[in-house]
Structures are given as C-alpha cells and as structure tokens.
Amino acid sequence: MTTMTGTPLLAATGVTMRFGGLTAVRSVDLTVRPGQIVGLIGPNGAGKTTLFNCLTGLYTPTEGTVTYRGRTLPPKPHLVAQAGISRTFQNIRLFANMTVLENVLVGRHTRTREGLLSALVRGPAFHRAEAASAQRATELLAFTGLAAKSGHLARNLPYGEQRRLEIARALAGEPGLLLLDEPTAGMNPQETRATEELVLAIRDRGTAVLVIEHDMRFIFNLCDRVTVLVQGEKLVEGTTETVQRDERVVAAYLGTPFEGAPGQEEVAEVEAAEEAAAESEGQGR
Ligand SMILES: Nc1ncnc2c1ncn2[C@@H]1O[C@H](COP(=O)(O)OP(=O)(O)OP(=O)(O)O)[C@@H](O)[C@H]1O
Ligand SMILES: [Mg+2]
C-alpha cells in the first residue's frame, strides 16, 4: 500500500552526522508518509543506526533538520517520544529484572501526563490513569503474543521474545511512527515470519514504520519504500522493485555484479522452491 500523497509524517532533510573526522551520515534526506513501512538498508557501518539516533534526539545532527508532522523535532529523546516517535534498539535495552508487564508500563510513561503531585498523593486521577495503563499494557502483550509471559522477568525470556517485548514497550507510547533497528536479528525463520506479521499489523493499526534490517526477504516482503545507505550516503531510494533491480545496490552488498548473475525469474524460482519447502516442513509437524 504505497502512499505517495499526503503530508510526510517524518521528513529528514540534509542530515549529516560527524564524529571528529568521520562523517557517519552525509546529507541524507528521508521521508516517511502515513501508512507506510519504509526500509533502511545498507552494509555494516553504513550509518543506519546513527541516522536513527539523529531522528530520535539521541544525537544532534551536525547539519540538517528533522520534522515530525511538519514540526521540527527537539533534539531530546524524551521530547521526540512525546511528539509521537518510538523506537527499539539494535542492542536490546530492557529492564532485565522487571517483569514483562512492568517493562511495557515503563513505556507508557511518555503517555501518562499524570503529574508528580498526583502520583504522590495517589488520588483518584492517579488510580484511573494507572488502571488504564495496566489495561493498555495487557492489550499490547496480547497483540505482541506475550500475554502468557506477563509476569516473567524480562531477562528470562528467549531472545526473540525480548525483541518482541521491546516492540511492545515502544508501542506503549502510542507512537504515530515506530523505528525498529534490526528487529529480527538473532531470530530463527519462524520468529522472523511472525515479526513480519507483527509489523504489518502495527501498520494496519495506524502506526507508520521505519525499519533497519539486514534480512532482505523481510525488507522486500514488507516495505513500501526502501532507502539504501552506503558509507553514510543515500545510494538509492525507491520501491522494493526499484531497489532490487539497481545494480549499485547489488554491487554495494556483493561486490561488482558478475555476468550471468541470477535474474528476476531465477530469483523467483528459488524463492518459490524455498516457500514450498517451508510449507511442506510446516505440514510435517
Ligand atoms: N558515537 C560514535 N562515535 C564515533 N563513531 C561512531 C559513533 N557511532 C557510530 N560511529 C561510526 O559511524 C559509522 C556508522 O555506524 P552505524 O552504527 O551507524 O552503522 P550501521 O549502518 O548501523 O551498521 P550495522 O549494520 O553494523 O549496525 C561507523 O563507522 C561507526 O563506527
Ligand atoms: Mg546499526
């Protein structure tokens, strides 16, 4: 569902991030529109996470601007979260010794505007807000398939579920835009498939998604648009078809394309065979 029209949700313009002599991100433009899933891909060290950090107020870009719903974002993570952008991290950041439910409740904090005084007094407004948060957190655990793990300590979850919990926590802020940094890293194929479904469901509920992934099948299955970063610069931006066909993208990942490289048809054949194998495997269980 590619939406070409409408006001951009997120618009990064000329974003540059330098660390001393190293330019990690160079003059990057990036747009995410309502209802879109946008992929951000590129080799290791391309500057993908650094760009995320620039978009979420963790870093103040050396140059360039970032707007959300037409307004310049303040370069402070909590203000970006309040504005409506949530994220997950490449290196999972959970409260290991809190329960799954508590981790999601922490994510509600950008949302609940109950003041400190109200919390101290613990008046009716505080209790109402708390009850609403608990209900919403429980819903999110069901949505992310973690309902049964609600009372478990985060550190006891398998890796794939920790990644899902990070997503649940990010969703607790009721974001208009969700940024995912390698959501399927370390997952097995089944978990990756489930995460694809989850990302589609998140988009269908009205949250746009910007996702960094090395899993190209994940990217090409899900994304309306894909931006390719190489050495900090945007190499290509377009639909999955455009990006898949672009020789420079192939070159950036695999080195120079060789003569007789598999064409679209062969790739489709291989994918169909893999799909069939996966299906018969599924039926075998
Ligand atoms: N805080 C920092 N200080 C100095 N250099 C940094 C910092 N953060 C990132 N870099 C450098 O910026 C470049 C881009 O790194 P970044 O982590 O953004 O890449 P990436 O595309 O996310 O890679 P990967 O796919 O491996 O996660 C790298 O050369 C990295 O060493
Ligand atoms: Mg990264």
What pLDDT digit, counting tens, does each position of 270-282 carry? 778 888 888 887 6
Closest CA to 40 of 246, 232, 257: 232
Residues 58 and 194 in one domain: yes
Neighbours of 160 (CB within 10 A): 19
| Residue burial 235-249, b: 16+ Cβ < 10 Å; e: rest | bbbeebeebbebeeb
Alpha-helical runs (H) found in 13-158: 48-55, 77-83, 100-108, 116-121, 124-143
> Which tokens hold the place of 270?
């291989």
- My answer on whether 193 and 147 are in the same domain is no
Task: Indicate if 148 and 184 belong to the same structural domain.
Answer: no
75/100 same-domain check: no
Q: Which of 153, 10, 6 is nearest to 68 (CA)?
A: 10
Which residue has its alpha carbon closest to ligand 1 atom 10?
Answer: 24
Task: Give yes or no: residues 150 and 196 share one domain.
Answer: no
**Cα separation of 238 and 205, whole Å?**
24
Whether residues 132 and 73 fall in one domain:
no
Asked if residue 179 and residue 77 are part of one domain, the reply reads yes
**Cα 220 → chain centroid:** 15
Helix (H) or strand (E) holding 65: strand 63-68
Instruction: Pick the closest to residue 111 from 183, 192, 19, 176 (CA basis).
Output: 176
**DSSP letter, residue 97:** T
What is the identity of the amino acid at 86?
S
Q: Are residues 209 and 248 in the same domain?
A: yes
Give the structural domain span for 28.
10-84+175-280
With vertex at residue 253, the alpha carbon angle to CA 248 and CA 257, rounded to the nearest 5 degrees, is 55
pLDDT at 1 over 80: no
50 lines ligand 1 (CB under 6 A): yes
Same domain assignment for residues 70 and 185: yes
Residue 4 or 9, more confident: 9
Domain count, the chain: 2
pLDDT tens-place string over residues 230-269: 999 999 999 999 998 888 888 887 655 444 444 556 666 7
CATH code: domain of residue 274: 3.40.50.300
For residues 186 and 244, membership in a common domain is answered with yes
CA of 224 to the centre of ligand 2 (A): 21
Residue 131 lies in a domain: yes
Q: Is residue 5 part of a domain?
A: no
pLDDT at position 264, please? 52
Atom of ligand 1 nearest to the CA of 43: 25
Domain check: are 115 and 16 in the same one? Answer: no
Average pLDDT value for the chain? 88
Task: Give 3-state DSSP helix, strand, coil % of the chain, rounded to 5.
Answer: 45, 20, 35
C-alpha distances out from residue 282 to 49, 188, 275, 277, Å: 35, 14, 10, 9
| 90 belongs to a structural domain | no
- pLDDT category of residue 144 using cuts at 50, 70 and 90: very high
| Test site for ligand 1: of 18, 30, 44, 50, most ligand atoms within 8 A of the Cβ | 50
Q: Which amino acid is at 201?
A: A
pLDDT over 90 at 56, yes or no: yes
Residue 91 domain-assigned (yes or no): no
Same domain, 201 and 265: yes
At residue 2 the predicted structure's pLDDT band, cuts being 50, 70 and 90, is: very low
Q: What percent of the chain has pLDDT over 90?
A: 71
Structure tokens at 109: 């904090």
Nearest residue by C-alpha to atom 14 in ligand 1: 47
Whether residue 2 is contained in a domain is answered as no
Last residue of a domain, one of 133, 158, 183: 158
In this prediction the pTM is 0.85
The answer to whether position 163 is within a domain reads no
Q: For residue range 71-126, what is the model confidence (pLDDT) as tens digits?
A: 999 889 999 999 999 999 999 899 999 999 999 998 887 665 555 555 566 677 77
